[in-house]
Amino acid sequence: MKPYDQTARTEEEIRAAVDALMAQMTLEEKIGQLVQSPGPATSEIGMDIDSDPLEDLIRQGRIGSTIFLGEVFQTVKDIEKLQRIAVEESRLHIPLLFCQDIIHGYQTIFPIPLAWSCSFDLPAIEKAAHIAAAEASCAGLHVAFSPMVDVAHDPRWGRVAEGAGEDPYLASLVGQAIIRGFQGKNLFDRDSVMACVKHFLGYAAAEGGRDYNTAEFSETALRNTYLPPFKAAVEAGCASLMTSFNLVNGVPSVANRPLCHDLLRQELGFDGLIISDYNAVAELLNHGAAEDEADAARRSLLATLDVEMATDFYNRHLPGLIREGKVDAALVDDAVRRVLTFKYRTGLMEDPYRYLRPEELRERVLCKEHLAHSRKLAQESIVLLKNENHTLPLSREKKVALVGPTADSLDMGGCWQFTSFPERMVTIRQGLEDAGFAVNYEKGCDIHQMIEGGMENACAAVYESDVCVLCLGEESLMNGESASRQSIALPQAQLDLLEAVAACEKPVILLLTNGRPLLLGEVLPQADAVLETWFLGHEAGHAICDVLLGDCEPTGRLTMSFPAAQGQIPVYYNHMNTGRPHPRGVPYIRFESNYMDGPNEPLLPFGYGLSYTTFSYGEITLSQDTLTKEGSLTASVCVTNTGDRTGTTLCQLYLRDVAASIARPVQELKGFESVTLAPGESRRVSFVIGEPMLRFYNAEKQYVSEPGRFEVMIGMDSEEALSRSRSFRLV
């Protein structure tokens, strides 16, 4: 018999069961629920679980959850072993929660999040997250540290790969889709995991794009740019949230009471778990934000941090602080109540082993259905950046030279994936061979350096062929955490290879494998066609060939601007106007807001992506030219496929608040619709605009819409949409 009610299911029953259990817990046992230890083989940083063996701590009830990052079937064994110790050998038999970074797939790997955001296909992203949950939950995992919804403007920051790019609206929708996919309808469902939205807050605003760095922004930027995706996540019922490593306006998030307690808990009503990032409580000392370990624990708890990841300052210092009256025991009780509530909601208190299903796991990982979805989402994530002279789609009749360091590379999964099946990634070479090509392959160079004779051999292969498919890019390790780059150019060896191959005067099709916007100003002119293929996961090679050969259309659109020069960073579409705006495409003018030595505009704007066919958009029609607070109006355009292939265009709606009490961005994405049309076919695409879409946080600290003039823009990308606008008044 367990000393707690195992059958509580409704919220009322759970509340009573948690209270009854807490009444039996010692202070140390309560605090133990708030500690998240690293699991076996997790990281060198953080708690020393060798000198203080994890098993002993679990027996003593001093651990509430564990973060895992291991080989899948070993994970199952380790989880089962640790769960047994918690449930059978600790005094109160409370099960552990097991957590992992499940970012773009668990064992079956999907495109990196920056890539899948380019699909704008929310149901497909939701399904990918659901598949990840269905695999991870069988392995005994309960919490996925995802989605990352940090709005990012700086491609030097390696973690842009993990998010949805530079737009708060899209980041909100993608984040909600992932949360729905992970959590399903009910956390009690055995195929669901708890989502953990991160990193609260402003992590992407790190100075200089240097990871973990200081973020400074105004209250209005916080509310209008960085907060919306977190607000959306709370509204979607996200079960947990991770604080960011950085200072936010001087205070590290993990101990930032105004941010976590006042804004998140009180104002947004978040009652899920707040989890620190890895070792972040200890890092308060380095930040100069805590005097010693005890002070770090106290400040974090005061901010309402529930779970301390990877360190055990709570264990070591909170009991003393509470007994000395320096910390209110009620704060611990609140946090413990939240942790135990989720242990009930996930069904763990009823059956601690319900998620451990190794047989189902074996059937699910990399199964046909999961791989098929990975391939579909990978196809949709690819963005066609250039296509001169109809170079693409590639004809099956052509003799292909396949060149480049990423052409035959298994490194297709991208950052933050821990699949135990890396050898199952489909390379580009394999993709082409599976499609029936007898490719003439030459590596040419490594990612970072030349290889002896590489260039000569590559050129020889190109001369013998009709076309060169050149594969360049980054390696996975150049993206993700702690992977900031000063230069976002392709490494020099690859630029040299491109130049050599381009000089062979055969058509060059460039396939880019990378996790951030790259500097392509001097790259694009040297290729006839360019596909941005990101890191696409297990089915990369197949999906790339599907698009390359025209078996499916390129439908992805960029969700982060690609700078024209490194010195433009940050460059993003939804910026403010200056008092001296500089017209697009006009050379330097003194005393205007422009560079002396180059354009203001990015090379490739947000929303950009070509199709194999062409489209034309007609003028915008508005159903009326005034909008009332309760009413709505419809903006529509007629879209026509003007080419000779069936194709899909992503019709994008942008709005601008022309004059307001605080300046508003020159454009903000407010809607999008994917439209597939046969050659010559036209369709009217409509968007309904209502007053809530016009709200923002103003200088009076209110979310309002302000009467006045608004511009409506609809187009194929953010820049193209500027050429087509109509206005209405909010009255």
Nearer to ligand NOJ, 198 or 338 (CB): 198
- Picking from 385, 389, 391, 382, the residue whose alpha carbon sits closest to that of residue 602 is 385
| 277 interacts with ligand NOJ by CB under 6 A | yes
Nearer to ligand NOJ, 262 or 481 (CB): 481
Nearer to ligand NOJ, 195 or 371 (CB): 195
Query: Cα–Cα distance between 93 and 40 in angstroms, integer?
Result: 21
Nearer to ligand NOJ, 154 or 277 (CB): 277
Q: Are 563 and 155 in contact (CB under 8 A)?
A: yes
Nearer to ligand NOJ, 198 or 375 (CB): 198
* DSSP states of 456-495: HHHHHHHHTSSEEEEEEE--GGGSSTT---S--SPPHHHH
Q: Residue 17 corresponds to which tokens in the numbers above?
A: 């069961």
* Eight-class DSSP state of 204: G
| Residues binding ligand NOJ: number (CB under 6 A) | 7
| 308 interacts with ligand NOJ by CB under 6 A | no
Query: Cα–Cα distance between 568 and 616 in angstroms, integer?
Result: 31
The residues that bridge with 633 in the sheet, in sequence order, are: 689
For residue 373, say if its preceding peptide bond is cis, omega within 30 degrees of 0: no
Look up residue 245 and give its amino acid.
F
Binding mask 174-203 for ligand NOJ (x = CB under 6 A): ------------------------x-----
Provide, rounded to whole angstroms, the least separation between the CB of residue 39 and ligand NOJ: 11
Nearer to ligand NOJ, 312 or 717 (CB): 312
Provide, rounded to whole angstroms, the least separation between the CB of residue 143 and ligand NOJ: 10
Provide, rounded to whole angstroms, the least separation between the CB of residue 482 and ligand NOJ: 9
Burial class of 189 by CB neighbour count within 10 A (0 to 12, 13 to 18, 19+): middle
For residue 393, say if its preceding peptide bond is cis, omega within 30 degrees of 0: yes
Provide, rounded to whole angstroms, the least separation between the CB of residue 67 and ligand NOJ: 6
Rg of the Cα atoms in the chain: 26
Q: Which of residues 423-482 bind ligand NOJ (CB under 6 A)?
A: 481
Distance of CA 437 to the CA centre of its chain: 35
Q: Are 455 and 445 in contact (CB under 8 A)?
A: yes
Query: Cα–Cα distance between 434 and 336 in angstroms, integer?
Result: 54
What are the backbone dihedrals phi and psi of residue 225, each rounded to the nearest 5 degrees, phi first?
Answer: -110, -55
191, 211, 277, 411: which is the annotated catalytic residue? 277
Query: Cα–Cα distance between 46 and 281 in angstroms, integer?
Result: 10
| 145 interacts with ligand NOJ by CB under 6 A | yes
- Picking from 162, 159, 306, the residue whose alpha carbon sits closest to that of residue 243 is 306
Nearer to ligand NOJ, 101 or 475 (CB): 101
- Picking from 183, 17, 186, 16, the residue whose alpha carbon sits closest to that of residue 94 is 17
Q: Which of residues 78-137 bind ligand NOJ (CB under 6 A)?
A: 101
Query: Cα–Cα distance between 481 and 203 in angstroms, integer?
Result: 11
- Picking from 705, 701, 721, the residue whose alpha carbon sits closest to that of residue 713 is 721
CA dihedral for 269, 275, 280, 284, sign (positive or negative): positive
Query: Cα–Cα distance between 22 and 15 in angstroms, integer?
Result: 11
Distance of CA 338 to the CA centre of its chain: 26
Query: Cα–Cα distance between 647 and 637 in angstroms, integer?
Result: 17
Query: Which of 68, 278, 441, 572 is close enough to bind ligand NOJ by CB under 6 A?
Result: 278
Query: Cα–Cα distance between 723 and 620 in angstroms, integer?
Result: 11
Our answer to whether residue 528 is catalytic in this structure is no
Nearer to ligand NOJ, 307 or 650 (CB): 307
Say how many C-beta atoms besides its own lie within 10 A of residue 559's C-beta.
Answer: 30
- Picking from 160, 144, 152, 43, the residue whose alpha carbon sits closest to that of residue 103 is 144
Nearer to ligand NOJ, 415 or 627 (CB): 415
Residues in the chain: 731
Q: Which of residues 479-518 bind ligand NOJ (CB under 6 A)?
A: 481
Query: Cα–Cα distance between 674 and 521 in angstroms, integer?
Result: 29
Provide, rounded to whole angstroms, the least separation between the CB of residue 279 and ligand NOJ: 8
Q: Which of residues 38-67 bind ligand NOJ (CB under 6 A)?
A: 67
- Map 494-527 to HEC letters: HHHHHHHHHCCCCCEEEEEECCCCCCCCCCHHHC
| 706 interacts with ligand NOJ by CB under 6 A | no
Query: What is the H or E stretch that residue 387 is in?
Result: strand 383-387
Nearer to ligand NOJ, 106 or 617 (CB): 106
| 226 interacts with ligand NOJ by CB under 6 A | no
Query: Cα–Cα distance between 199 and 240 in angstroms, integer?
Result: 11
Nearer to ligand NOJ, 277 or 474 (CB): 277
Burial 491-525 (b: 16+ CB within 10 A, else e): bebbbbbbebbbebebbbbbbbbbbbbbbbbebbe
Kindly list the catalytic residues.
277
Task: List interacting residues with ligand NOJ (CB under 6 A).
Answer: 67, 101, 145, 198, 277-278, 481
